[in-house]
A and B are shown apart, each in its own frame.
Chain A
Amino acid sequence: MAEIEQLRKLLIEREQQRLDELEQQLNDREHRIDSLGEILPESLQRLQHDRNLQLSLRPPLVHGIEETIQRNPKRFAAMFYPVLGPAIRRAVSEALKGLLENINRTMDHGFSLRSWRWRIEAWRAGVPFSQIVLKHTLAYSIDEVFLVQRHSGLLIARATRDSAEVLDRDAVAAMLTAIQRFMQESFAIDDDHPVRSLEVGEHTLWNIPGEHAVLVALIQGTVVREARHMLQTQLESLHQLHEQLLQNFHTYQGQQPVLDEELQSCLLRKELTVSSSNKLKKHIIRLCVLAIIVLGICFWYGWRWWWLDIDRDKLLQSLDQQPGWVVLNDTIDNGKIAVHALRDPLAVTPDEILTQHHIDAERVSFRLENYQSMDSQLAIKRLADAVGIPLSFLQLETQAQTAQPIDHGQWFSVAKPVKRSVWQDLQVLDRSLGLQLLKAPNLDLGNLSRILAAPENVELQWRGDVLVLNGQVDARWRDGLQARLAEFGVDVIVDDLSIVTFEHYASLFQQRWNNQLLVFADNTVLNADGADTLALFTQEAIALKSLSGENVLPFTMQISGLTDGEFTTPLNTGLRTQRAQSIQNELMAAGFASELISIAEISQASAEDNVRAVRITLQERADGNGSGQD
């Protein structure tokens, strides 16, 4: 046995030893952990697609994670925080962006007519207003789609609503890519954050990146986020179907498949759902516009007619009160007031009436026939016309009397004298009017004064049947007196003896004052008598002057200085001159012109004038009434 044992030992000792070692290894837990750890990563990696492994790993993993979260949620929160933060932010900003777009649009429509329609719609449907806005702002149209290879910018496919080929589509696709590159470089944006959208005129460009290709959509209107999602899905399916093509397009050999057809489904469009009711609304709007126009026209004509009516009332009322107007008929015809009337030629003219009432002459037509009015005002006017008296005078005098039945006799008494030559006409008129007229003018003094055109300072008086005139007048008036009375048919006896004419007065003056001496008390001072005389002379000369009508004295005054004793002595010669000058000065001071007062030459004084005095000599002026301003 021992030999066998020995033999076995000799034969299999090394194997035995290894078996022992193996057994020991198998039993050694630590060792097993180590060796399994060596191969586990590799085997897991190899089996990563193995369905069984996945299934068996899932429950313990899930369970473990669950338990850990339950036990220590903070730790997981800390772990996920860096991931969740950006993810949440992104989700929120996406949602906000959509919301903002809608809010902006709502604000745009905030005060428009449409917004009110929508409000009513929301109220009737019992849904929130925002929902209605959303419903209406969903309209959009994706007009054109490019499928562009991401890196090369080469155009793989394109679909468009508008079949007309306007641009070089390859260049456009490349440009879109280049623009994006340009922006990314300019703003240092990395490739993971491509430009998502661009505003190009009225269009929005959407850029939807895929792994190998980019979908660029040209959009009109407002697109909802879902549309982007749909495009994204479409792009993904294109990637799945044509991965090789999209990836290797820039080196693709030979003929390439055309994907244009497949892109057609990307040309999404959403119509406004209100099209049918829109038509109705358009009709209603058209009807409204029409109604407004018709109403406007009606209003215009009504307005015009109304004004015309007001004008007509005004006109007729005024014509009614107008003497010499009788309206027979009035109509409104063709936008004009037509008046058929009788009119006295002396009555106010139609134009005067129209301007007085601010009525447009264009809007009134007159058909007038002449007649003679019995109205007292017009009768007076006619009378005045006939007898040649200014109407202004008559009107002034008669206005107060129009209220009473007019007494032409009385009127005549205040009227200006009427020439005898028109008496016949007056009587004819008188008959036609059936009015009484005095056969002769009233002979009260006022009237006579008027008839005679008597100057102010003439006084009229009755002495029995005799008209006495008293005062100072010029001769011409006195001479014309009888002719004037005769002309106006006034038959009275006139006593004009008390009338003093200027000429008469002047001659009386001359008689009285020519060669008047003014005596001096001593060398150059008048004595009391002399002074009184000078004062009286001056007074009467002034009175005469004022009578003359032209205020001119009809005489020149020559003043001679006189002395007693030997007149040739130098002393006396000087005295004479002094005395004459002193009187001249006084007269000039009284207001007589210097050229009317002269001093006589010494030689003219005669020897018998042996008195201390001056002499005034009056001479009629050579030029008669003279032009000298005195």
Chain B
Amino acid sequence: MTDPVRKICLLGSFAVGKTSLCQRFVNNVFSTNYQTTVGVNIVTKQVAVGQQQLKLVIWDIAGESATPAVLKSYLLGSQGCLLIADGTRLETLTEVDRLHSYLQQHNPDIATSCLLNKADLDEQWEAPPEWLVERRERGWMVQRTSAMTGAGVEQGFIELASQLLKG
């Protein structure tokens, strides 16, 4: 008998920090050097949610590949999704909205959670506070994170993991 395993996907525009968040969460490292992901990058991590052990298989999907057909194929068998936006680029928030409604429509069983990344970049911050408030009021899970400082990253992933165990 082994612990349960869950597949989760990381979605969002390119360069929002999906790979960086994975690296911070799994290996606790960060690099400012940007290397775009080709196709998909897969890492795993054993996490504890309360008393329960859980293994996460994390599919870090290239920002460019979010066409419906590709998305559908990568989402197969996935239990959870982290939608990532870059707080310094408004258009990435729009993309998160788009992805969220896509999931609602096509994969309503998938647990979602939203991360507003690059929280450390106060100066360039563009995401209006209302955006976050509105989404939370609608029942979304939204979390500010920084792959650079590590703030909110662990919580973001664990929060999604606990949703998976409930489901």
Q: Which chain A residues have a beta carbon within 8 Å of chain B's beta carbons?
A: 149-155, 168, 170-171, 174-175, 178, 181-182, 184-185, 249-258
Chain A proximity mask over B50-66: 1 for CB below 8 Å, otherwise 0:
00000101010000000
Residue of A nearest to B164 (CB): A251
A178 near B4: Cβ-Cβ < 8 Å: no
A171 near B77: Cβ-Cβ < 8 Å: no
**B69 neighbours in A (Cβ, 8 Å):** 185
Complex formed: what's the CA distance from A30 to B7 in Å? 63
Give 16 A-B pairs besides A153-B57, A168-B44, A250-B79 with Cβ atoms closer than 8 angstroms: A151-B77, A153-B7, A168-B43, A174-B7, A174-B42, A175-B42, A178-B40, A178-B59, A182-B40, A185-B69, A185-B70, A249-B5, A250-B6, A250-B77, A253-B4, A257-B1
A-B contact pairs, 25 of them (CB 8 A): A149-B77, A152-B57, A152-B77, A153-B7, A153-B59, A154-B57, A170-B5, A170-B44, A170-B55, A170-B57, A171-B57, A174-B42, A174-B44, A175-B42, A178-B39, A178-B42, A178-B74, A181-B73, A249-B5, A250-B7, A250-B77, A250-B78, A250-B79, A254-B4, A256-B2
Asked if B3 is at the interface of the complex by the 8 Å CB criterion, the answer is yes
Knowing A255-B1, A257-B1, say if A153 contacts B39 (CB, 8 Å). Answer: no
Kindly identify, within residues 48 to 100 of chain B, every residue whose CB is under 8 Å from any CB belonging to chain A.
Answer: 55, 57, 59, 69-70, 73-74, 76-79
- Interface of chain A: mostly helix, strand, loop or mixed: mixed
Asked if B129 is at the interface of the complex by the 8 Å CB criterion, the answer is no
B57 near A184: Cβ-Cβ < 8 Å: no
Q: How many residues of B contact A (CB 8 A)?
A: 24
**B5 neighbours in A (Cβ, 8 Å):** 154-155, 170, 249-250
A181 near B74: Cβ-Cβ < 8 Å: yes
A152 near B40: Cβ-Cβ < 8 Å: no
Complex formed: what's the CA distance from A170 to B43 in Å? 8
B7 near A182: Cβ-Cβ < 8 Å: no
Q: Number of contacts between A and B (CB, 8 Å)?
A: 71
Q: Tell me which of B42, B55, B79 contacts A251 (CB under 8 A).
A: B79
B2 near A255: Cβ-Cβ < 8 Å: yes
Which of A151, A170, A184, A258 has the most chain B CB atoms closer than 10 A to its own CB? Answer: A170
B7 near A152: Cβ-Cβ < 8 Å: yes
B3 near A255: Cβ-Cβ < 8 Å: yes
Knowing A170-B44, A250-B79, say if A182 contacts B39 (CB, 8 Å). Answer: yes
Kindly identify, within residues 110 to 167 of chain B, every residue whose CB is under 8 Å from any CB belonging to chain A.
Answer: 167
- Interface of chain B: mostly helix, strand, loop or mixed: mixed
B1 near A251: Cβ-Cβ < 8 Å: no
**B78 neighbours in A (Cβ, 8 Å):** 152, 250
Complex formed: what's the CA distance from A178 to B77 in Å? 12
Say how far B99's CB is from chain A's closest CB, in angstroms: 19
Complex formed: what's the CA distance from A155 to B55 in Å? 11
Q: Tell me which of A151, A168, A257 contacts B76 (CB under 8 A).
A: A151
Complex formed: what's the CA distance from A254 to B44 in Å? 19
Residue of B nearest to A174 (CB): B42
Complex formed: what's the CA distance from A258 to B42 in Å? 23
Complex formed: what's the CA distance from A151 to B7 in Å? 10
Complex formed: what's the CA distance from A255 to B5 in Å? 10
Complex formed: what's the CA distance from A174 to B76 in Å? 12
B2 near A154: Cβ-Cβ < 8 Å: no
Residue of B nearest to A182 (CB): B39
**B43 neighbours in A (Cβ, 8 Å):** 168, 171
Say how far B66's CB is from chain A's closest CB, in angstroms: 13
Complex formed: what's the CA distance from A150 to B5 in Å? 14
Residue of A nearest to B1 (CB): A255
**B57 neighbours in A (Cβ, 8 Å):** 152-154, 170-171, 174
Say how far B13's CB is from chain A's closest CB, in angstroms: 20
Q: Tell me which of B3, B4, B76 contacts A152 (CB under 8 A).
A: B76
Say how far B53's CB is from chain A's closest CB, in angstroms: 10
Complex formed: what's the CA distance from A150 to B7 in Å? 12
Complex formed: what's the CA distance from A152 to B59 in Å? 10
Say how far A150's CB is from chain B's closest CB, in angstroms: 8
**A256 neighbours in B (Cβ, 8 Å):** 1-2, 4
Complex formed: what's the CA distance from A54 to B78 in Å? 43
Say how far B74's CB is from chain A's closest CB, in angstroms: 7
Say how far A602's CB is from chain B's closest CB, in angstroms: 121
Complex formed: what's the CA distance from A255 to B2 in Å? 5
**A185 neighbours in B (Cβ, 8 Å):** 69-70, 73
A171 near B6: Cβ-Cβ < 8 Å: no
Say how far B6's CB is from chain A's closest CB, in angstroms: 7
Say how far A2's CB is from chain B's closest CB, in angstroms: 79
**A153 neighbours in B (Cβ, 8 Å):** 7, 57, 59, 77
Complex formed: what's the CA distance from A254 to B74 in Å? 25
Complex formed: what's the CA distance from A381 to B96 in Å? 119
Chain A proximity mask over B13-46: 1 for CB below 8 Å, otherwise 0:
0000000000000000000000000011011100
A154 near B40: Cβ-Cβ < 8 Å: no
**A152 neighbours in B (Cβ, 8 Å):** 7, 57, 76-78
Complex formed: what's the CA distance from A603 to B167 in Å? 160
Residue of B nearest to A191 (CB): B73
**A182 neighbours in B (Cβ, 8 Å):** 39-40
Complex formed: what's the CA distance from A155 to B3 in Å? 12
Residue of B nearest to A186 (CB): B39
**B70 neighbours in A (Cβ, 8 Å):** 185
Say how far A336's CB is from chain B's closest CB, in angstroms: 74
Residue of A nearest to B78 (CB): A152
**B39 neighbours in A (Cβ, 8 Å):** 178, 182
Residue of B nearest to A156 (CB): B5
Complex formed: what's the CA distance from A257 to B2 in Å? 7
**B79 neighbours in A (Cβ, 8 Å):** 250-251
B42 near A154: Cβ-Cβ < 8 Å: no
Residue of A nearest to B65 (CB): A185
Complex formed: what's the CA distance from A175 to B6 in Å? 15
Complex formed: what's the CA distance from A472 to B1 in Å? 141
Complex formed: what's the CA distance from A534 to B4 in Å? 148
B59 near A251: Cβ-Cβ < 8 Å: no
Residue of A nearest to B7 (CB): A152
Residue of A nearest to B69 (CB): A185
Say how far B89's CB is from chain A's closest CB, in angstroms: 27
Complex formed: what's the CA distance from A182 to B3 in Å? 29
B1 near A154: Cβ-Cβ < 8 Å: no
**Considering the complex of A and B, which 9 residue pairs feature the smallest CB-CB distances, nearest first?**
A152-B77, A255-B1, A151-B76, A151-B77, A174-B42, A170-B44, A152-B7, A250-B77, A178-B40
**B73 neighbours in A (Cβ, 8 Å):** 181, 184-185
Which of A153, A155, A175 has the most chain B CB atoms closer than 10 A to its own CB? Answer: A153
Say how far B103's CB is from chain A's closest CB, in angstroms: 16
B55 near A252: Cβ-Cβ < 8 Å: no
A258 near B77: Cβ-Cβ < 8 Å: no
Knowing A168-B44, A251-B79, say if A174 contacts B4 (CB, 8 Å). Answer: no
Residue of A nearest to B70 (CB): A185
**A258 neighbours in B (Cβ, 8 Å):** 1-2
**A254 neighbours in B (Cβ, 8 Å):** 4
Say how far A152's CB is from chain B's closest CB, in angstroms: 2
